[in-house]
């Protein structure tokens, strides 16, 4: 299979599709599954052409097929966006097939480094360097490549970075991950200021407890445990994140840049989870709330 697999579903109807992103080209990294997939699908449903990037060719192709079936133009872009050469190749292919990227969603991250997912005392320097450099290179490379094309076209655009509540409220045993997300938010604000003269807006969203295929198998009752900690009473979905991304990518947010948005059902707004306070968790329909164990 070639580095990029182009599959498009162009039709007379496609070019006149309506929606919040009609006529735009979106490039979504890590779009083969979970949050990235939901963002790509939602962008397509809102009228944009979509470049679906992933390192997994089969996953990217499946999302492209889903988009095409719904009537969207789509392109599978298979590649590692932490490699600057592959970034340039991917954007060149997208521009040739779908046009200049107006909407970039930096969703992908790599789990490189065997000790990067453990207690700080066990993180090896080589794994720290591997994890941090790969993830920040991905953010820098894609953002700069998209921004240079948009600045040249002088057409404006939107870049949305997928951060995490871990940028502000620490996870246990995720030092490199939380550090990268914190850096991403500083990057978001700084780049937003630099690119504002060209009408390029840069924002970030922080997903909270999102029910994805990666998290759900962690333990039985995961969603119930997480929901008990969340003011809105449920874990989020990838589609909740996608809705926020589409808003930030659209003209509805034309005067918003350099901002970080929590998509967390109110988790960050509360001081501590209610069960830590010793209070029962009350949601509509709970006749007799039972004690809930805090999931750490």
State how far the Cα of 284 lies from the Cα of 143, in Å rounded to an integer.
43
**Residue 6, pLDDT score:** 47
State how far the Cα of 145 lies from the Cα of 87, in Å rounded to an integer.
8
**Residue 273, pLDDT score:** 59
Active site residue 177: yes
**Residue 279, pLDDT score:** 45
**Residue 293, pLDDT score:** 32
For the domain spanning 17-269, the CATH number is 3.40.50.720
pTM for the model: 0.86
Measuring CA to CA, how many Å separate 179 from each of 10, 116, 163, 186? 41, 11, 11, 11
Measured from the Cβ of residue 235, the count of other Cβ atoms closer than 10 Å reads 23
**Residue 20, pLDDT score:** 97
**Residue 56, pLDDT score:** 98
Give bridge partners of residue 236 from the DSSP assignment: 210
pLDDT lower than 50: segments of the chain: 1-15, 217-218, 276-280, 287-296
């Amino acid at each position: 299979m070639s580095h990029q697999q182009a599959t498009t579903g162009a039709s007379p109807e496609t070019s006149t599709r309506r929606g919040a992103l009609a006529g735009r080209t979106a490039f979504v990294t890590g779009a083969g599954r979970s949050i990235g997939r939901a963002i790509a699908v939602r962008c397509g449903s809102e009228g944009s052409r979509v470049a679906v990037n992933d390192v997994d060719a089969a996953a990217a192709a499946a999302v492209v097929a889903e988009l095409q079936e719904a009537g969207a133009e789509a392109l599978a872009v298979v590649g590692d966006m932490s490699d600057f050469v592959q970034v340039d190749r991917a954007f060149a292919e997208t521009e040739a097939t779908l046009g200049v990227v107006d909407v970039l969603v930096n969703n992908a991250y790599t789990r490189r480094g065997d000790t990067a997912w453990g207690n700080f005392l066990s993180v090896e320097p080589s794994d720290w360097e591997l994890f941090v450099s790969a993830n920040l290179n991905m953010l820098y490379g894609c953002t700069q490549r998209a921004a240079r094309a948009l600045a040249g076209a002088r057409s404006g655009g939107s870049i949305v970075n997928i951060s995490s509540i871990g940028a502000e409220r620490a996870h246990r045993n995720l030092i490199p991950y939380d550090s990268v997300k914190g850096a991403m938010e500083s990057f978001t604000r700084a780049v937003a200021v630099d690119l504002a003269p060209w009408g390029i807006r840069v924002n970030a969203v922080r997903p909270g407890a999102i029910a994805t295929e990666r998290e759900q198998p962690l333990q039985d009752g995961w969603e119930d445990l997480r929901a008990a900690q969340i003011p809105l009473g449920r874990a989020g979905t990838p589609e909740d994140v996608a809705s926020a991304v589409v808003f930030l990518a659209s003209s509805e947010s034309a005067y918003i840049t350099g901002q970080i948005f929590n998509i967390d059902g109110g988790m960050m707004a509360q001081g501590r989870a209610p069960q830590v306070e010793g209070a029962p968790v009350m949601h509509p329909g709970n006749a007799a709330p039972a004690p809930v164990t805090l999931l750490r």
